[in-house]
């Protein structure tokens, strides 16, 4: 018996188009509607918006969002075309809007990382299906 393909979201994000952030959250929400992990879905939306925002703010290129729901959980990846690796930095208390994205990802994701590829990198996170 052949297994059905895992539900997946793939979206191209236009360079510096911050309208893509709420659009990505909405598309992810639709993908996760059948996942059955409402608390994890909210976390997934938050972390996805952080990765999408980082790719759009810190690069001058398009990016690609991919989210896959499988038996082990959710994997979200944002690929951009700039080889410079993101830095995890301690947020400055005086700057309420910058420097917290990767700290949130590190704190809330079950695993995360950066994978380099030929013309850039992909920043990813995973949320396990078994945790509610």
**pLDDT score of 120 more than 90:** yes
Rounded Cα distance between 92 and 98, Å, is 8
**Proportion of the chain above pLDDT 90, given as a percent:** 59
Rounded Cα distance between 108 and 126, Å, is 10
pLDDT tens digits, 71-108: 889 999 999 999 888 877 666 655 555 567 899 999 99
Rounded Cα distance between 118 and 102, Å, is 23
**pLDDT score of 23 more than 90:** yes
Rounded Cα distance between 106 and 89, Å, is 11
Rounded Cα distance between 41 and 18, Å, is 21
Query: φ, ψ for residue 47 (rounded to 5)?
Result: -70, -35
pLDDT of 16 reads 86
Tokens of 7: 């539900």
73, β-bridge pairs: 70, 128
Eight-state DSSP code of residue 19? T
Mean pLDDT computed over 1-11: 76
pLDDT band at 39 (very low <50, low <70, confident <90, very high): confident
**pLDDT score of 4 more than 70:** no
In sequence order, the 6+-apart residues with CB closer than 8 A to the CB of 85 are 114, 116, 121
pLDDT band at 3 (very low <50, low <70, confident <90, very high): low
Tokens of 71: 């038996």
pTM reported for the whole predicted model: 0.86
Average pLDDT, the chain: 87
């Amino acid at each position: 018996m052949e297994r059905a393909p895992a539900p997946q979201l793939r979206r191209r994000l236009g360079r510096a188009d911050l309208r893509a952030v709420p659009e990505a959250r909405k598309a992810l929400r639709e993908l996760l509607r059948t996942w059955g992990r409402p608390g994890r879905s909210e976390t997934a939306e938050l972390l996805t918006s952080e990765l999408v925002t980082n790719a759009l703010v810190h690069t001058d290129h398009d990016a690609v969002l991919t989210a896959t729901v499988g038996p082990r959980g959710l994997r979200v990846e944002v690929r951009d075309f700039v080889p410079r690796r993101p830095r995890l930095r301690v947020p400055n208390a005086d700057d309420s809007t910058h420097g917290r994205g990767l700290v949130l990802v590190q704190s809330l994701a079950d695993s995360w990382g950066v994978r380099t590829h030929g013309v850039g990198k992909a920043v990813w996170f995973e949320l396990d299906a078994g945790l509610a």
